[in-house]
Structure 1
């Protein structure tokens, strides 16, 4: 059975919001537990979400696609007004907070793209040549083998 969220509706049920936002109802309950969205309860203890929650869910999903941690998403959503739909200016203020982090992520992705062929062919356990994890073999100065793996010390009779 399909739940359709009317454009006139001020509130949505879990099913209506889930369908309109393109997420599972369990995702909405998770977002609520994590403090990312809020609902009110009816006398029958059913969740009802304000229409502005649809935009918040879209923002959460976009942030997840960017790889933003939920703590950062929660902080950003905390900057938005309660009880009204955020304006373009509200969203601009929130997105400006992430600019530096996103720029750093973009630089890292560009570096990975530019050196990916070398990374795939390097073997990654010796790290003799790796422009990303071990430029100029600086880890080789610490000794042989994989320097970034936290292996336990060998026990008696083990090597």
Structure 2
């Protein structure tokens, strides 16, 4: 059993995550552990691949709830393979594309404002004269 299982400390060291994060992931159903004869939490080696998928997805801005939903389609102790990752990432593709476009627009408009420094309401593309965008809903509408 010792060779095929890793302690929570070993998973933390190998993944670069704090133990508290691994416990959190487990509470959220993202990863699973079992107990050894000493009643210590142990993880199958395959958990390292799942943790990597979680970290990559989080770094791309995918919410944990969506990561949990995607991983729930896999058996608990399954190792996500190339086909699994392709299927999972396809689900996130359109949302990530939309986020990239929104962030690019934000970056470009902010760079223009910060670059000129004048904050002129006459030529600023972020101006909302007479609050005409209010009818479109709450929040930033031009970004």
Q: What's the TM-score, normalizing by structure 1? A: 0.71
Aligned to 2:110: 116
Answering whether residue 28 of structure 2 is matched by residue 39 of structure 1, we say no
SS in 2 for 1:49: strand
Aligned to 2:58: 64
> Which of 5, 9, 15 in structure 1 is aligned with 2:3?
9
Q: Could you tell me whether the CA contact under 8 Å between 1:122 and 1:129 is conserved in 2? A: no
Aligned-pair RMSD on alpha carbons? 2.7
Structure with higher helix content: 2
Structure 1, unaligned runs of 5 or more: 1-7, 150-159
Shift in Å, 1:142: 3.0
Q: What's the TM-score, normalizing by structure 2? A: 0.78
Shift in Å, 1:81: 2.8
Aligned to 1:85: 79
| Closer, same or farther: CA 12–130 of 1 in aligned 2, 3 Å | farther
Summarize deviations over 1:2-40 as a string: whole Å, max 9, x none: xxxxxx932110011111111111110111111111101
Structure with bigger gyration radius: 1
Q: How many residues align?
A: 132
Shift in Å, 1:45: 2.3
Structure 2, unaligned runs of 5 or more: 133-137
Structure 1's consecutive aligned runs of 4 or more residues displaced over 3 angstroms after TM superposition are: 119-123, 126-131
Answering whether residue 129 of structure 2 is matched by residue 140 of structure 1, we say yes
Q: Distance in 1 between matches of 2:139 and 2:103?
A: 21
